[in-house]
Chain A
Amino acid sequence: MAASKAQGSYLAVFWTAITVLCAGIAYFAEGFGKLVLVFGLAGVIISLVGFLKIKPLEGKTAGVTGIAAMKILGIAVALGGWFVTIAGLHLTTSTGGRLIFALVGIAVSLVGVLGVLPVAFGKSVAGKAQSSSFMAAKTTMEHSR
């Protein structure tokens, strides 16, 4: 689809809505702040629905879809490493102990980020997936000629 008037219009709605939403947060303590917040939220939802509506117009992309469960696992492991680090601060008061907990926590997070997620996003099939997407795009281009 490329950039279009519909995209620009829904972006304008989104931009407006988050401005109003933030105004609502800023003055939440006052009565009208809550009302403004609701208007802002409604605007954000409208813009997101609009984005969703025009998304299929983009056509076939070369991105890889990956495996949803592994994505969630990767994110969970990445975040879990941080909990290990933070737990270490309270489980021991020795600097050495905290150092070990921090290193273990970082290692766990790295497993999630560099180990699980690249597989979840299909690094091993990157070439193949792209090639098939390319073929689809090429076919479209040839038809349009």
Chain B
Amino acid sequence: MKKLCRRSCLGLWVLALGLAFGLAVHAQAPAPAAPAPAAAAAPAPATPVDAELKDAAGKAPSQADLQKGDPSGAITGTISDVPAADSKAGVTLPDVANQVGQNKIAVNFVWTLVCGFLVMFMQAGFAMVESGLTRVKNANHTYMMNFFVYTCGLFAYWIIGFAIQMGGAAGNSNLGGLQPLASEHAISIFGKMWGLWGQSGMFLVGHTYDVGVMVIFLFEMVFMDTALTIVTGACAERWKFLAFTVSSIIMGALTYPLYGNWAWGGGWLSQLGTNVGLGKGYCDFAGSGVVHAVGGITALAVCMLIGPRIGKYNRDGSANAILGHDVSACLIGCFILAFGWFGFNPGSTLGASANGNLRIGTIAVDTMLAGCTGTIGAILYMWALKGKPDYSMSGNGLLAGLVAITAPSGFVSPVSSCIIGLVAGVLVCLSCSFFENVLKVDDPVGAISVHGANGLWGVLSVGLFADGTSNYGGSWNGVTGSVTGLFYGDASQLVAQLVGISTLIGVVFTISMVINLALEFFIGHRVSAETELAGLDIPEMGQLGYPEFVFQPEPAVLMGQA
């Protein structure tokens, strides 16, 4: 009977997928006919420019020249590589202009995609950091959560998350306009329209089967997955794999995309500038708030629900240190994350050509410096106050600096980025201690402090340190001018950032808490105490992470016997 039930379930799964795909194909809008090339119209009279182009074509290297090879690169890439719409007329000015436009978009596509690939690789870094900081008996389970969260998030984002977040985000000229994403659900309050969620792009079908949309989907998807994987670290060593899976799917489908829309998809936070005159609206360049704070705050909600690991706290409430099993995995993971951050921050220009995007160099340097000073802050704090330069807090210091600079990286100077990173490095140590010793929230990897506390600090620092020198096409969020913080004369930008922080703590936390309370009712987040003591690898995953290791017995205190 059970077998029959299982088979039926699998059959249902295949059938439903087929149905969904079938619907998608059925509703596929016919591809619009390609616009007729400009040169196909009646030939225009020859102009001096046409004459110059013909002259240049005449001087282009011949086939015979090219066959000799081009060691200096001087004759590769000339007018002969520009396609002519009318071969008889040769290359015309419209042909050149079209090629220039294509080149701009091509550069931006390649930039955004390559940066997206870098961000995707951060998943490996997260897996190593989180697994390295947990015990060997849970290694397989922790690695598997980090592996599977990519799939859960990607699928959920494809079926609905992307539409909610970016369905109304049309207008980005860097990626060709993204005009298929022009449907934002908005409501009118006090005579102003406020965007709430996007409505186009589910399953990437119909008009959203578009080259530009695919690029932005890939880039935004890997950001979303970063947020999801933050929660797995905070809840490691006691989170039921089933509950983790369902929670991650819902976060990728709903929680993350909602806030993402409000900040990046044309939603109400980005409209604070145009609607109520708060600076340039809520500004979060690469996602300290959208990605890291959302992940960190969700992690806090789930951590509160799930409770501390057995043995973490004694009867008197004092905390025990539960050491991770692999220093090398943790620190190599941190380096992989730092490398991936060069996709995260500079990639958030969504292009390298036009509209002030040459600032990518500054953004990359800001990113490096904040990571550097974050590490310095954490190491010096731990060394001076605790006597040793602790490896886990050093790694967390690097990540904290990177998290904090993520929102302001596009708007601040290198000196400001150093200050932001240094504060983050100290803040992460204080925050870890606060959550562990005061709130009694057990976060094995420090994810709440690294991503939550420092994500909020990053959002705030935009309102303080943005220096007004950035110029991404002369405006931001539809407000003319550069993003300028309190220290450079615009206090209203700080208010916009505070509204964002209030939304993160008040709304995102509430949504996460309510969803996960519901999951607690239906599924239960936590594994049994027996499973937890034995380690989650065998009961939950069926295999040890390191089957040939001989486990040392854990101290009695970590077995709850103190």
Q: Taking chain A's interface residues, is the majority helix, strand, or loop, or is none over half, making it mixed?
A: helix
* A25, CB-defined interface residue at 8 Å: yes
Known A-B contacts A19-B159, A99-B494; the reply to A81 vs B502 at CB < 8 A is: yes
Q: Are B300 and A113 in contact (CB under 8 A)?
A: yes
Interface core residue of A23, A106, A110 (most chain B CB under 10 Å): A23
Whole-angstrom CA separation of A60 from B560 in the bound complex: 15
Q: Are B560 and A131 in contact (CB under 8 A)?
A: yes
A interface footprint on B495-539 (CB within 8 Å = 1, 0 otherwise): 100110111011101100110010001111111111111000001
Determine whether B38 belongs to the interface, using a CB cutoff of 8 Å to chain A: no
Given contacts A51-B523, A71-B517, are A58 and B528 in contact (CB under 8 A)? yes
Task: Identify which of A9, A71, A89 contacts B499 (C-beta below 8 A).
Answer: A89
Prevailing SS type, chain B contact patch: helix
Within 8 Å CB of A26, what residues of B? 23-24, 27, 160, 163, 202-203, 205
Give me 5 other A-B pairs in contact (C-beta within 8 A), A118-B440, A136-B529 excluded. A36-B19, A59-B528, A123-B441, A130-B307, A138-B533
**Contact for B506 among A16, A61, A82, CB less than 8 A:** A82
A and B contact pairs by CB, cutoff 8 A, 30 listed: A3-B242, A5-B2, A11-B245, A12-B9, A14-B246, A15-B249, A26-B163, A26-B202, A30-B27, A36-B19, A36-B23, A62-B238, A75-B510, A78-B505, A78-B506, A78-B513, A79-B510, A81-B502, A82-B505, A95-B491, A96-B491, A99-B491, A102-B499, A109-B506, A124-B317, A126-B313, A129-B307, A131-B560, A133-B310, A140-B530
Contacts of B381 in A (CB 8 A): none
In the complex, the answer to whether A23 meets B203 with C-beta atoms within 8 Å is yes
Q: Is B190 an interface residue (CB 8 A)?
A: yes
Contacts of A136 in B (CB 8 A): 529
Which of chain A's residues have a CB closer than 8 A to the CB of B499?
A: 85-86, 89, 102
Known: A82-B503, A133-B529. A16 touches B2 (CB 8 A): no
CB-CB contacts of B1-26 with A at 8 A, as 1s and 0s?
Answer: 01001100110110011011001100
A5 to B9, CA, bound (A): 11
- In this complex, what residue of A is CB-closest to B277? A93
Residues of A within 8 A of B531 (CB): 2, 59
Question: Is A75 a contact of B514 with CB atoms below 8 Å?
Answer: yes
A114–B448 Cα distance when bound, in Å, is 13
* Interface pair B498/A141, CB less than 8 Å apart: no
Which residues 1-42 of A sit at the B interface, judged by CB distance below 8 A?
1-3, 5-20, 22-23, 25-27, 30, 32, 36
Q: For B561, list chain A residues within 8 Å (CB).
A: 134
Mark interface residues in A90-133 (1 if CB within 8 Å of B CB, else 0). Answer: 10010110110011011001100110011001111011111101
Shortest CB distance B123–A (Å): 20
| 4 A-B pairs with the lowest CB-CB distances in the bound complex, closest first | A82-B506, A137-B529, A2-B539, A134-B560
User: Which listed residue, A3, A6, A58, A124, touches B542 by the CB 8 Å rule?
Assistant: A3
Q: Which one of B315, B492, B506, B522 has the greatest number of beta carbons of chain A within 10 Å?
A: B506
Tally of chain A residues near chain B (CB < 8 A): 83
Residues of A within 8 A of B528 (CB): 1-2, 58-61, 137
Known: A3-B242, A22-B159, A23-B203. A51 touches B307 (CB 8 A): no
B405 at the interface (CB under 8 A from A): no
Cβ proximity bits B231-265 to A, threshold 8 Å, 1 near / 0 not: 00000001011100110010001000000000000
CA distance A52 to B560 in the complex (A): 29
Chain B nearest CB, measured from A42 CB (Å): 11
Given contacts A102-B498, A121-B305, contact A58 B310 (CB under 8 A): no
Cα(A98)–Cα(B559), bound, Å:
51
Q: In the bound complex, how far is the Cα of B511 from the Cα of A75, in angstroms?
A: 9
At the interface, yes or no: B61 with Cβ under 8 Å from chain A? no
Q: Is B439 an interface residue (CB 8 A)?
A: yes
Residue numbers in B under 8 Å from A32 (CB-CB): 23
Q: Is B81 an interface residue (CB 8 A)?
A: no
A113 in complex: contacting residue of B17, B312, B509, CB < 8 Å: B509
Which B residue sits closest to A108, measured CB to CB?
B506
Interface residue B550 (Cβ < 8 Å from any Cβ of A): no
Q: For the complex, give the distance between the alpha carbons of A75 and B313 in Å.
A: 25
Please measure, in the bound complex, the distance between the C-alpha atom of A36 and the C-alpha atom of B203, giving whole angstroms: 15
Residues of B close to A9: CB separation below 8 A: 5-6, 9-10
Residues of B within 8 A of A109 (CB): 502, 505-506, 509
Contact A5 B6 (CB under 8 A): yes
Contact with A along B50-70 (1 / 0, CB 8 A): 000000000000000000000
Q: List residues of chain B with CB within 8 A of the CB of A12.
A: 9-10, 12-13
Cα separation A134 to B215 with both chains bound (whole Å): 50
CB neighbours (8 Å) of B308 from chain A are 126, 130
Instruction: For residue B244, give the distance in angstroms from its CB to the closest CB of chain A.
Output: 11
**In the bound complex, how far is the Cα of B2 from the Cα of A93, in angstroms?**
65
B306 within 8 A of A: yes
Q: B529 to A27, Cβ gap below 8 A?
A: no
Contact flags B466-503 to A (C-beta < 8 A → 1, else 0): 00000000000000000000000001101100110111
Are A126's CB and B530's CB within 8 A? no
Decide if B202 touches A22 in the complex (CB within 8 Å). yes
Q: Which residues of chain B are near A14, meaning CB under 8 Å?
A: 246
Q: Is B316 an interface residue (CB 8 A)?
A: yes
Interface residue? B304 (CB, 8 A): yes
Measured CA separation A63–B533 after assembly (Å): 13
Least Cβ distance of B379 to chain A in Å?
A: 27
Q: Does B276 contact A (CB under 8 A)?
A: yes
Chain B residues near A25 (CB, 8 Å)?
160, 202
| B393 at interface, CB cutoff 8 A | no
Tell me whether A67 is interfacial, beta carbon within 8 Å.
no
B310 and A130 contact, CB distance less than 8 A: yes
Q: Determine if B541 is an interface residue (Cβ-Cβ < 8 Å).
A: yes
Q: Which of B155, B440, B506 contacts A126 (CB 8 A)?
A: B440
Shortest Cβ distance from residue B100 to the other chain A in the assembled complex, whole angstroms: 37
Query: Is A48's beta carbon under 8 Å from chain B?
Result: yes
